Amino acid sequence: MKNVNMKQLIYTGLLLAAAMVAACNKADEDYKDFAPGGENVYPGKATELTASPGKNRIMLQWLLATDPRIVTCRIYWNRGKDSMDVNVQRTHGVDTISAVLGNMTEGPYLFEVYTYNAQGNRSIKTEINGDVYGEFYESNLLNRTLKKAEIVNGKARLEWDEADPRSPGVRLTFTDAGGTPYSILAPSSENVTILDVLPETGTLEFKTLYLPAANAIDTFAAPAVKVNL
C-alpha cells in the first residue's frame, strides 16, 4: 500500500514538474518574441497616463515609478507620424512627468508614450485617448440665459437661468462712470448677481465660460453679449 502511494506521489510530482517547465518555456518564448535573443534590457513603462485637453493643445502627464535608468520619454500621435521627446531627470522616488503638445488640430487623438534608457532600449507602450478643442467647439457654445437685468436701489441686479454643468461661471465686463474697467466672475452656483457699481450708460457685456473637461487646461467662452440695464 505504501509503495502504491509513493508511486502516485512520484507520478504527481513529475506531472507538476513538467507543467512548470512548459510554463517557463512559454514565458521564455513570449520574452523572445518581445526581445529577440533575450539580450536587451527594457526600461520600466510609464504609468497612470492622463490627458488634459486645452485650446489647440493638450497636456499629457504620467508617472515613472521604477527603473532609475530612464533618460527620455517619447510621445507618438497621428499613428506615429508625429512625436515629441521629453528629457527625464530621475529622482530617488516616483517622478511625475508632464508635456504640453501645442499647435494641435482640433479633434480626437490616440497618444502612445514610451520610455528609453541611455542605450536606446525602449519600453512597452502606454497609451491614452485625448481630445483637443478649438474654434469649432467654441463656436457652438451658448451663453447662460439672463432672465432679468435691472437697477434696484442704485445697484445692478442680474437674475440667471440654470447654468450648464460644464460652466464655471459668467464673465461680466463693464466700465463705471469714472472710466474704471471691471471684470467680475459670476459663478454658476449663483442665480442672482448684485453689482454695487453701476456700468456707465447702464450697459455691460457678459460671456459664459466653459471647461470641456474637469481637468481642462484652458477655459473657453461663448460670444460676448451686450446687456442694457
Class of domain 47-133: mainly beta
**Residue 18 predicted with pLDDT over 50:** no
Question: pLDDT for 157-207, tens place per residue?
Answer: 999 999 999 999 999 999 998 999 999 999 999 999 999 999 988 999 999
Quick one: which of 71, 56, 67, 72 has its CA closest to 113? 72
**Residue 23 predicted with pLDDT over 60:** no
Residues paired with 78 in a beta bridge: none
Q: Residue 52 — very low, low, confident or very high, per pLDDT cuts 50/70/90?
A: very high
Class of domain 141-228: mainly beta
Residue where the block lists cell 517622478 = 95
Q: Residue 21 — very low, low, confident or very high, per pLDDT cuts 50/70/90?
A: very low
Question: pLDDT for 54-90, tens place per residue?
Answer: 999 999 999 999 899 999 999 999 999 999 999 999 9
Q: Residue 110 — very low, low, confident or very high, per pLDDT cuts 50/70/90?
A: very high
Q: Residue 24 — very low, low, confident or very high, per pLDDT cuts 50/70/90?
A: very low
Mean pLDDT for the chain overall: 87
Residue where the block lists cell 447702464 = 202
**Residue 127 predicted with pLDDT over 50:** yes
What DSSP string describes the chain?
Answer: -HHHHHHHHHHHHHHHHHHHHHHHHHHHHHHHHHSGGG---PPPPPEEEEEEE-BS-EEEEEEE-S-TTEEEEEEEETTTTEEEEEE----SSPEEEEEEE-SPPSEEEEEEEEEEETT--B---EEEEEEEB-HHHHHT--PPPEEEEEEETTEEEEEE-PPPTT--EEEEEEE-TTS-EEEEEEETT-SEEEESSPPGGGEEEEEEEE-SSTT-SS-EEPPPEEEE-
Answer whether 181's CB lies under 8 Å from 144's CB: no
Domain 47-133 and domain 141-228, same fold? Reply is yes
Give residue 146's identity as a one-letter amino acid code: L
Q: Which three cell numbers stand for residue 171?
A: 464673465
The pLDDT score that the predictor gives to residue 66 is 85
The pLDDT score that the predictor gives to residue 40 is 66
Question: pLDDT for 86-102, tens place per residue?
Answer: 999 999 899 999 999 99
The pLDDT score that the predictor gives to residue 151 is 93
Question: pLDDT for 128-144, tens place per residue?
Answer: 999 999 999 999 999 99
- CA torsion sign for 164, 167, 168, 173 is negative
The pLDDT score that the predictor gives to residue 41 is 73
- Where do the domains of the chain lie? 2-38, 47-133, 141-228
